[in-house]
Amino acid sequence: MEEYFLNICHEENDELECEMILLSELPYQRQIIRRLSVLGVIDVQGDRLPANQVGRVAKILRLRNAFGLNLSGAAIICDLLSRLEELEKQVEFYQRL
């Protein structure tokens, strides 16, 4: 039986991001990846993860290991750090005006 995968592409920063990575190719425990997916932190599609989310997983796991956080807490901090970066870019933009 053939397997088919649907890749949903997103345009971010003028780049189309569609590459998918097999979960078995990642250096992380599959259980952790599945838990992040159940929490809604990442979007696992079958046995694949969009390549643009691998860095997010790595960041969450670094926060978890460095500070002893649970996955939900590490994901929240990751989101807040991303938001902070966005706000810093906006401040820099408006300072140049």
Rounded-to-integer distance, Cα 87 and Cα 94, Å: 11
Q: Which of 62, 68, 5, 52 is nearest to 28 (CA)?
A: 62
Which amino acid, 33? I
For every one of its 97 residues, what pLDDT tens digit does the chain have, with 9 covering 90 and above? 444 444 555 566 655 556 899 998 899 999 999 999 999 999 999 999 999 999 999 999 999 999 999 999 999 999 999 999 999 999 999 999 9
Distant-in-sequence, close-in-space partners of 30: CB < 8 Å, separation ≥ 6: 23, 24
pLDDT attached to residue 3: 43
Written as six digits, the tokens of 45 are: 């599609």
Q: What's the CATH number of domain 19-96, 3.40.50.2300, 3.40.920.10, 1.10.1660.10, 3.10.450.50?
A: 1.10.1660.10
Strands (E), the chain: 10-12, 15-17, 20-22, 48-50
